[in-house]
Structure 1
Amino acid sequence: MFENVPEVTVADWFSGAEITSRMLRTLGRIGPGGVIIADLYERGYYVTHARTLDPASHTHFIVYGHHDLVFGLENYTLEYEDRAWEELVDAVDESTWDTMTEAVEDVVKTGPVVTRMRQHMQALGFDLTAAPYYYDRYADPGIYKQPTTRMVADRYADRTDPTITVTVKMPLDETTGALSLITITDQGSHVRGWPKALRNQFVAGAQARRVRAEADAHLRRTRTRT
């Protein structure tokens, strides 16, 4: 009796929602730390600042960020010139809807250490400024065969100086024992980077504090005091 019942996906839940030009312009005005959130309760999107988001929430999550906007607009301007903005808005809206089901699956599978790292980074003055990027890391780089580890890359802007950005690549499931990679850049130039197995919240907290210390040390070395 159920053979003709259509399959409903999470993306269908957002079929009436839309990411608009006004949202992206608001995102641009907010600047680093600005994000567009998917709200599973309201079945829609809204623009806010990352520090208002609970990193432990599975019902409100980032789908697009200020960093994504800057990077996307630069590329679309090269390709479409005067039509760049219109093309970008359409692409963001379509790609967000197309990947919504997969994004929710990754959010649900995100382990507690990833969440704790996000909480520690937020508390120490680093704001998520891009949508989390989920991907499979192969055990042997260059050989695209199993086994793979599901990873997430989070990008942060330093609230003290948003030209300082931090990227944290972590396994979704910390029990795999896979290494994480933390990198700090200044206006796109490499500052520091190191691998670390973030297997529990205590290690995550210590590494977040190290990020803060390394970023502060770099700022002291490179910024002129007034």
Structure 2
Amino acid sequence: MTISDWFTHARITSGMLRTLDRIGPGGVIVADLYRRDYRATHSQAIAPDQGRTQFIVYGHHDLTHDLRAFRWDYGHRAWEELVAAVDCTAIDCMDDQLDDITATGYVVTRMRQHLRRYHLDLTAVPRYRDKRLRPGSPTATRRTVTDRYAYRAAPSITVTVTSPVDEKTGAYSLITISDRGRHVTGWPARMANQFTAARHAHRVNEAIQAHLARTRT
């Protein structure tokens, strides 16, 4: 039996997606392994280190992005088709997602904790991918995870952090900040331990405050 078998009778419903829409940036749908069901909530309600019992399967950013595409493809049937697609994808990806969560290093979790202290809320499902290390080489890859955050006081400001799943590789992470989809700043970050993660989280906050001072006064 796999974890996804626990969710055979669980469904992501239209009501959950509408609740997600009402919550806005920072809203997420989580799979709860204890309840064996999904629920829509705010990412503030999920401890960053609870990934093995509650984990994000869909977020507000995913909803706004996907809904635009589904409206283009399906017109008035967009919402109905999107609900079915999200429900199907969540269950199909669950086992692989849990494998990725289990393999994710401590530094990624610590960065999520540090950014939350600066009022940055996860607003999308973490995206795991294999990054090709050498052009043209399909075998030389590194597993990465991309987290997307919304800044609580000004949700048009988003932060994206792409990190190696295993920090022991010594590979760089990439941090970018945008406002209304326009690039503000970004930098490579070597986060080998929780202390360097804290420093870069502080730098993210400083960059956001400097940007707000320039653009909101």
Residue of structure 2 equivalent to 1:43: 36
Letter in 2 for 1:69: L
TM-score, normalised to structure 1's length? 0.94
Residue of structure 2 equivalent to 1:113: 107
Residue of structure 1 equivalent to 2:48: 55
Higher-Rg member (1/2): 1
Letter in 2 for 1:205: A
Residue of structure 2 equivalent to 1:156: 149
Structure 1 unaligned blocks of 5 or more: 1-7
Matched, 1:206 2:213: no
CA–CA separation in structure 2 for the residues paired with 1:23 and 1:194: 36
TM-score, normalised to structure 2's length? 0.98
Query: Which runs of structure 2 are paired with 1:44-193 in the superposition (5 Å)?
Result: 44-57=37-50, 58-140=52-134, 142-193=135-186
Deviation of 1:147 after TM superposition, in Å, equals: 2.1
Instruction: Describe the SS at the equivalent of 2:168.
Output: helix
Residue of structure 2 equivalent to 1:217: 210
Instruction: Describe the SS at the equivalent of 1:113.
Output: helix
State the Cα RMSD in Å.
0.8
Instruction: Describe the SS at the equivalent of 1:221.
Output: helix
Structure 2 unaligned blocks of 5 or more: none
CA–CA separation in structure 1 for the residues paired with 2:146 and 2:55: 14
CA–CA separation in structure 2 for the residues paired with 1:205 and 1:148: 27
Letter in 2 for 1:157: A
How many positions carry a matched residue from both structures?
A: 216
Structure 1 residue runs of 4 or more that deviate by more than 2 Å after TM superposition: none
CA–CA separation in structure 2 for the residues paired with 1:153 and 1:184: 13
